[in-house]
């Protein structure tokens, strides 16, 4: 899919036509199949999809962290402030990671080193990238802790002494220590209780504003998207089926999969007798359907859907969709 650069200048991230396969002896897993992503400076993009849609692989590619023996980058560019990450040398990448781009993962339990104090872990990035002394780095680390709502005195404690929510805050502190331009958050609150999740999301929003950071928020939860994101890309089988602003996706959705996602959600406001699930299962990435990857599950599928992959149709400056339904019209077909 081809996403127009709405802001020609000042795009923190541009991914163009990224294709990544995992190759093993028996089979090829087509994880990412032509993904275009643009994040303007200071904006947050929500990457929404279910398990196996290719979100995490895309995120890893931004830092060139796709596991190498199996993961092969077949084509595409990942431009971070104009420079292609995929062609950078190791030393250039090391400079980038933690400094210009930071990533927070889903499970705070395994993201933290159990034998280092939290203060040291935050200070680590500072020492490497800012080339300051250990004492100075620790001082800044304590400031970061305060920023995420943890008393600075706890800098000398170890991860096991913190609860899940607090550990995730420490992870955020580590990520933001060097004021990155881009924060990649891969399901950062999925493992947390809902009240803690609320706290963490508010924290992320505040810090985003304060640092004028761009963010890629990977999630399957449309509620989180509504809270934190400016734009949304809906991912399915390694392709982006629909992309737009919050209004475009929440109020004017066009793609049947997007509609299915919303329909399958239980709504606490409206109690229906039956949820409307999407029939069928996620496609097997080693054996993707022909034509449009969603067609076997689509209520609106036509004959052409199983033959030809649909092209990108721009419905407005901000809203595009990949679906044969919209070949000749911009109006909703749902």
Partner 1 sequence: MSNTLLEVKDLKKYYKVPKGMLHAVDGVTFSIDKGKTLGIVGESGCGKTTAGRAILRLVEPTSGQIIFDGVDILKLNKNEMRHIRKDMQLIFQDPFSSLNPRKTIAQTIEEPIILAKMIPDKNKRFMRVMELMETVGLAERLVNTYPHELDGGRRQRIGIARALAMNPKFIICDEPVSALDVSIQAQILNLMKKIQREMGLTYIFITHDLSVVNHFSDDIAVMYLGRLIEKAPSEILFANPVHPYTKALLSAIPVPRIHNRPQRILLRGEITSPINPEPVCRFANRCNYAEPICSKEEPVLIEIEPNHFVACHLKGINANA
User: Which residues bind to partner 1, rule: CB under 8 A?
Assistant: 50-51, 163-166, 193-199, 201-202, 220-227, 246-247, 250-251, 260-262, 264-269, 271-272, 274-279, 281-282
Judged by beta carbon, residue 275 or residue 302, the one nearer partner 1 is: 275
Please report how close the Cβ of residue 264 comes to partner 1 at its closest, in angstroms.
4
Judged by beta carbon, residue 69 or residue 266, the one nearer partner 1 is: 266
Report d(CA 93, CA 299) in Å as an integer.
Answer: 45
Please report how close the Cβ of residue 200 comes to partner 1 at its closest, in angstroms.
11
Please report how close the Cβ of residue 265 comes to partner 1 at its closest, in angstroms.
6
Closest CA to 47 of 231, 176, 203, 214: 231
The residues, ordered by sequence, that sit 6+ positions from 200 with a Cβ below 8 Å of its Cβ are 165, 168, 169, 172, 188, 189, 192
Quickly tell me which residue has 């502190």 as its tokens. 173
70 to each of 7, 25, 31, 73, 240, how far by Cα in Å?
Answer: 35, 10, 11, 10, 23
Please report how close the Cβ of residue 249 comes to partner 1 at its closest, in angstroms.
9
The backbone torsions φ and ψ at residue 263, rounded to the nearest 5 degrees and listed phi first, read -65, -30
Please report how close the Cβ of residue 198 comes to partner 1 at its closest, in angstroms.
4
Contact 305, 299 (CB under 8 A): no
The residues, ordered by sequence, that sit 6+ positions from 11 with a Cβ below 8 Å of its Cβ are 5, 38, 39, 40, 41, 79, 81
Judged by beta carbon, residue 251 or residue 328, the one nearer partner 1 is: 251
Tokens of 19: 């294709």
Please report how close the Cβ of residue 312 comes to partner 1 at its closest, in angstroms.
24
Q: Which long-range contacts (CB under 8 A, 24 or more apart) does 230-233 make?
A: 230/43, 230/44, 230/45, 231/39, 231/43, 231/44, 231/45, 231/46, 231/318, 232/45, 232/46, 232/48, 233/37, 233/45, 233/46, 233/47, 233/48
Judged by beta carbon, residue 81 or residue 227, the one nearer partner 1 is: 227
Judged by beta carbon, residue 274 or residue 328, the one nearer partner 1 is: 274
Judged by beta carbon, residue 123 or residue 235, the one nearer partner 1 is: 235
Judged by beta carbon, residue 82 or residue 266, the one nearer partner 1 is: 266
Judged by beta carbon, residue 96 or residue 249, the one nearer partner 1 is: 249
Please report how close the Cβ of residue 44 comes to partner 1 at its closest, in angstroms.
14
| CA within 13 Å, CB half, 179 | 8
Please report how close the Cβ of residue 167 comes to partner 1 at its closest, in angstroms.
12
Please report how close the Cβ of residue 277 comes to partner 1 at its closest, in angstroms.
3
Judged by beta carbon, residue 184 or residue 278, the one nearer partner 1 is: 278
Sheet with 214-219: strands ordered across: 101-104, 182-186, 214-219, 44-48, 231-236, 239-245, 320-322, 312-314
């Amino acid at each position: 899919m081809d996403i127009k650069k709405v802001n020609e200048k000042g795009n923190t991230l541009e991914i163009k036509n990224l294709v990544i396969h995992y190759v093993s002896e028996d089979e090829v897993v087509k994880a990412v199949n032509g993904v275009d992503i643009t994040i303007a400076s200071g904006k947050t993009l929500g990457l929404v999809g279910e398990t196996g849609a290719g979100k995490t692989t895309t995120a890893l590619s931004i830092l060139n962290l796709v596991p190498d023996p199996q993961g092969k980058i077949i084509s595409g560019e990942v431009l971070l402030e104009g420079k292609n990450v995929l062609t950078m040398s190791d030393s250039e990448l090391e400079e980038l990671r933690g400094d210009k781009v930071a990533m927070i993962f889903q499970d705070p339990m395994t993201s933290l080193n159990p034998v280092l104090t939290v203060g040291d872990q935050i200070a680590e990035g500072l020492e490497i990238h800012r080339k300051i002394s250990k004492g100075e780095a620790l001082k800044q680390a304590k400031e970061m802790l305060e920023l995420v709502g943890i008393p600075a005195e706890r800098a000398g404690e170890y991860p096991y002494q913190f609860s899940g929510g607090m550990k995730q805050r420490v992870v955020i502190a580590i990520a933001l220590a060097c004021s990155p331009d881009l924060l990649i958050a891969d399901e950062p609150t999925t493992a947390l209780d809902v009240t803690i999740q609320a706290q963490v999301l508010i924290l992320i929003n505040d810090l985003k504003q304060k640092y004028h950071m761009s963010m890629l928020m990977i999630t399957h939860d449309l509620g989180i998207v509504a809270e934190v994101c400016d734009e949304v890309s809906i991912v399915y089988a390694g392709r982006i089926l629909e992309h737009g602003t919050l209004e475009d996706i929440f109020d004017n959705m066009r793609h049947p999969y997007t509609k299915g996602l919303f329909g399958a959600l239980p709504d606490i406001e409206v109690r229906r007798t039956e949820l409307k699930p999407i029939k069928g299962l996620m496609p097997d990435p080693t054996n993707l359907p022909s034509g449009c990857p969603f067609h076997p599950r689509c209520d609106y599928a036509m004959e052409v859907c199983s033959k030809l992959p649909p092209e990108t149709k721009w419905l407005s400056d901000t809203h595009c969709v990949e679906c044969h339904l919209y070949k000749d019209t911009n109006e909703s077909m749902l």
